Amino acid sequence: MKSPLIEVHDLHYRYSDGTLALDGVDFVLYAGETVALLGANGSGKTTFVLHLNGILAGEGLVMVCGMPVGKDTVAAVRQKIGLVFQESDNQLFMPSVLEDVAFGPLNLGMDRTHAENRARLALEQVGLEAAAHKAPYHLSAGEKKRAAIAGILAMEPEILVLDEPTTFLDPPGRRALIDLLAGLPQSKILVTHDIEFAAALADRAVFFDRGKVAGEGPTGEIIRRFGWDKSNHRSAASCSREG
């Protein structure tokens, strides 16, 4: 059997105000898998994924590519797992798209020529090579999302984690994102309220409820089992970012 890329055992996390956000979460991701994390706002999905690259640190075991996530390993872990935030503007801050995408490799100590070559390859992967010298604020919402993904791909991670990736996208942008992600070889974790998006990409779904994993299995089965139908999707999608 394949070794897991991510293993999480009995993960607990409580916010400083006393709110219990994760209450004994177990999770496994294998190479080649795409897994959707479903559940209501505040169910713990985003809190969970922020533990995978050490942004948050709770009680329990989190292993990424055989490494326990901790202070001594966090730099190496972040080269294995790339996190794409819900708000693309949080990841785009340089004067040009190319500079934004090259920022990560440069930050690792790569020379500028090598970093920019890697950035151009990443932009080609996401279909944005023609926008390399544009300012990020001139991009559409869909282009910003692809630029943010390119910045992660330039780091050559083994795992992509995307938090509510279809937020702010119109239907063509959403379809383009599905096509892009389907063609990328990395294992993926999708935090999403968009059930059609999850069904199009995810082999498996994990349903979070009040900080616990309430169920997991084939995506369609989990959607049906927990009643995560279109009315739930619409009401959830209108809410703000979860805790």
pLDDT-based confidence at 198, cuts 50/70/90? very high
> Angle at Cα 204 formed by Cα 202 and Cα 208, nearest 5°?
105
For residue 216, what is the enclosing H or E element?
strand 212-218
The predicted structure's pLDDT at residue 90: 76
The predicted structure's pLDDT at residue 231: 42
The predicted structure's pLDDT at residue 55: 94
Spatial CB neighbours of 87, under 8 Å, sequence gap ≥ 6: 167
Q: Pseudo-torsion of CA 34, 38, 43, 46, nearest 10°?
A: 40
The predicted structure's pLDDT at residue 173: 87
Query: Tell me: the pLDDT tens digits for 9-44?
Result: 999 999 999 999 999 999 999 999 999 999 998 999
Catalogue the long-range contacts made by 110-115 (C-beta closer than 8 Å, 24 or more residues apart).
115/154
Token pair of 182 as six digits = 């389907």
pTM score: 0.88
Query: Tell me: the pLDDT tens digits for 50-104?
Result: 999 999 999 999 999 999 999 899 999 999 999 998 888 778 889 999 999 999 9
* CA-atom Rg of the chain in angstroms: 18
Q: Of 170, 227, 205, which Cα lies nearest the Cα of 33? A: 205
Domains in the chain, ordered, with CATH? 4-237 (3.40.50.300)
Q: Of 41, 67, 54, 72, which Cα lies nearest the Cα of 13? A: 54
For 68-129, give the secondary structure using H, E and C. ECCCCCHHHHHHHEEEECCCHHHCCCCCCHHHHHHHHHHHCCCCHHHHHHHHHHHHHHCCCH
Report the mean per-residue pLDDT for the chain: 89
Query: Tell me: the pLDDT tens digits for 148-168?
Result: 999 999 999 999 999 999 988
Look up residue 6 and give its amino acid.
Answer: I
